[in-house]
A and B are shown apart, each in its own frame.
Chain A
Amino acid sequence: MTELDPDLARDGPELTGVELDRRLTAAWRRQPGLIGWLSTTDHKEIGKRYIVTAFVFLALAGVLGLVMRAQLARPESGLITADRYNQIFTMHGTTMMFLFAVPVMEAMAIYVIPLMLGTRNMTFARLNAFSYWMYLFGGTMLWVAFVLNTGPDAGWFSYTPLSGPEYAPGKRVDIWAQMITFTEVSGLAAAVVMATTILKQRAPGMTLAKMPIFAWSMLVVALMIIFALPAVALDSGMLLSDRLVGTHFFNPYEGGDALLWQHLFWFFGHPEVYIIFLPATGFISELVATFSRRPVFAYPAVVVSLCATGLLAFGLWVHHMFATGLPRLGFAFYTAASLTVSIPTGVQIFCWIATIWLGRPQFRVPMLWVIGFIVTFVIGGLTGVMLASVPLDLQLHDTYFVVAHFHYVLIGGAVFPLLGAVTYWFPKATGRMMSEALGKLSFAVTFVGFHLTFFPMHITGMMGMPRRVYTYPAGMGWGTLNMISSIGAAILAFGVLLFVINIILSFRAGRVAGANPWEAAGLEWATTSPPPVYNFPHLPAVASRTPLWDEGEGLPVTTGLRVDDRELLSVTIIDAIPSVREPSPKPTIWPLLSAIAIGVTFVWSIFTPWALVFGLVPSAIALTIWFWPKNPDVPPEPEID
């Protein structure tokens, strides 16, 4: 081993306990006050902000959903105008997909993953902060525009030419397309941070084969984001340039093609569904293992399923386009591919049920969400099988059947696990348990409300009701079913409200949780609740997939990281052998200022192309200062042999 600089203080047998805590806290804490709050690079703070913001967007979009249900409760209802309704359903879809579902999964991972991996912070901590600010600004821009009657109205999918320059006058669709740009930048930044953290910052000994399944799912998802999001970035960029500078990408009369939009959009849009769903399966794997008191059955099968889903997700976008008149022969391929993707999902469901079967299940609140997930999601998966078939899809496509299908998949398949995961990790983040009684009640109400809302939609769809209509004629037989859905929506909203009340009450006066209230096996439970700013006094080292169950209190640790400066331990990608100590950047305001400069450029560029020129200057300045080399006086740390 290379000699370490003896002058630098490091954690180890001689430096431990209170003194270690004091020095690590001094090294890792941020400045107090507003500036410090704005400049933090701590993944826990960023993660919490991300989660809270995403839930605010969930609430906003949920309210829009309720408004739609109120409008549709009766035929020919005049509660809101067609123009308002179209803005509302566009905002509902856009917010749920781009501002809630994907960000909240990243957000949960930003909070939990470094703790699960046993590291002090994420790689590229400032990029992580930047990602949050871009997300916040993009979402805020969209909602401010909506309040000002400039909400996009071409659907969350914004098909050209309806979203093009001629048929979508004004700034509405520009706002939508630019919001995509914001979430692109934010999503890609978060994905890069996530992938590198998972690959390089695991606890020593945590080989890829011993990594928690949630980390696996986030790794797959991060890579999917990196491959999928550029497609929609390109797409929205072309749309903006069609709209703002008069190019003809989507104009068939000048050599463009209206279908090009759909190909690029769904090449992103279908993987997007799995980008939302795979983290949820990661939650489920963690929850099932903890509450069945045994590791997930057939870990390799589950991991292979995750990777297979991630790969297959890129090969089935055309099943959104069966009615567009593409060559029929190709459709058979996409039917087969779409059906194939249910094999890995089926494997995972088997493994979860087998885990419960083989273990000693405890039916605490998170486990109830798991069961709710299986019961609900499988329906969504099976209706997905129907939609994969070309002859069936040609009927079911763009009807309420599809609305029912994807709400079963996205709420049943992603929101239920998410709520379970929030209940599960809430004590880690706050140090307090969520109320069990209120938790059970909110689960029951949400579950009933959900099925009451969305199950009738299968039938409404079969009875011929198309999607995205602001009203429907009386006498079609759709009235009763829609009324049931609307009542269910109110119950569902009440259930979610109970969940939020539970969070608020428990945050103030919940039972105090210890380090490991669920007696779980993952590393995140090895530190205190809530964790100190530096996460772990000594970085843990692991030798199995369930370190806390196998090692108990005597979890082995790694020592030798500096305590007077921010230092992380990088490991080799596959075997997690320590390879290098690397400095972790200090908090700084520049990610925020960069986000503001770039955000202003983005918003401004909707109004004039010159913004790209003028906006470049402050953006370049902010980025330059952000990336200015730091600590040139500290010698580089030696490699670890």
Chain B
Amino acid sequence: MSSPCRASLLALVLLAGCDEQARDPRGHPLPETGPLLSAAMNPARPDPRAVDYYKNAFEVSQGQQLFQWMNCSGCHSNGGGGMGPALSDTKWRYGSSMADIVQTIANGRPNGMPSFSGKLTQAEMWQLAAYVRSLSQHVPQSIRSGRTEGLSVGEPSTLRDPHPPRAVTPKQDEASVE
């Protein structure tokens, strides 16, 4: 039985310690009622909660479900953009970090993005942010959400461009928003 032992040992080493497949409906131990963006202004130290959400397949999929439920598609059209900006491209006016996205969801942005503060819980915003982030960034296949069970709009998630997003100045992007 030496061969199977070795194989499983190797696999264990490779996968050990990753809880990206865990499914913890209670959310994460950090206090959910703490300040929303402890480190939003400090990109060097990202919010410690972020990693629990964007590195977990279940949280990303919950974000995907919220994206549908909250009718984000109404403006963002499954990430492809419409009335609102596209989320699956690489242009981000208000920053593409988890904290930035949560900030956008919570407080809204000019030109139509409503505020969801008090409408969604913080955990839900983190989940949404994790999903939105996965629309444009390269996330491992083991975390990324699959297609939804519904009409398919836009390109499939598997064909998304995995280039990292970049920030753009509002002026440069004005045309595409109008």
Contact = CB atoms under 8 A, between A and B. Distances in A.
Contacts of B147: 165-166, 242, 246, 248, 251
Nearest to B151: A253
A164 B146 contact: yes
Interface in B1-59: 2-4, 7-8, 11-12, 15-16, 18-23, 25, 57-58
B21 A170 contact: yes
Contacts, number: 100
Interface residues on A, range: 35 or more
B17 to A, nearest CB: 9
A145 B12 CA distance: 9
Interface in A228-259: 242-246, 248, 251-254
A254 B21 contact: no
Contacts of A609: 158
A204 B79 CA distance: 70
B15, B21, B149 — most chain A CB neighbours (10 Å): B149
A167 B149 contact: yes
Given A149-B19, A246-B147, A608 B141 contact: yes
Interface residues on B, range: 35 or more
B148 interface: yes
A165 B150 CA distance: 11
Nearest to B60: A169
Interface residues of B, dominant DSSP: loop
B152 interface: yes
B72 interface: no
A140 B21 contact: no
B4 A246 contact: no
B61 A169 contact: yes
Interface string A106-132: 000000000000000000000000000
Contacts of B142: 170-171, 607
B16 to A, nearest CB: 7
Contacts of A560: none
A83 B25 CA distance: 9
B156 A169 contact: no
A172 interface: yes
Contacts of A251: 147, 149-150, 152
A170 B18 contact: no
B145 A166 contact: yes
Contact of A166 (B2, B22, B64): B64
Interface string A160-191: 01001111011110000000000000000000
Interface string B111-150: 0000000000000000000000000000011110111111
A145, A171, A242, A243 — most chain B CB neighbours (10 Å): A171
A631 to B, nearest CB: 28
Interface of A: 34, 38, 83, 136-137, 140-141, 143-145, 147-150, 153, 161, 164-167, 169-172, 242-246, 248, 251-254, 592, 606-609
Given A140-B7, A170-B58, A170-B61, 8 more contacts: A144-B8, A144-B12, A167-B149, A246-B146, A248-B147, A253-B149, A254-B151, A606-B141
20 contacts: A83-B23, A137-B4, A140-B4, A140-B11, A149-B21, A153-B23, A164-B146, A166-B61, A166-B148, A169-B61, A171-B57, A171-B142, A172-B21, A245-B156, A246-B158, A246-B159, A248-B152, A252-B149, A253-B151, A608-B141
Interface of B: 2-4, 7-8, 11-12, 15-16, 18-23, 25, 57-58, 60-61, 64-65, 140-143, 145-152, 156-159
Nearest first, the 8 closest Cβ-Cβ pairs linking A and B are: A165-B146, A170-B57, A169-B61, A246-B156, A150-B21, A246-B147, A169-B57, A170-B21
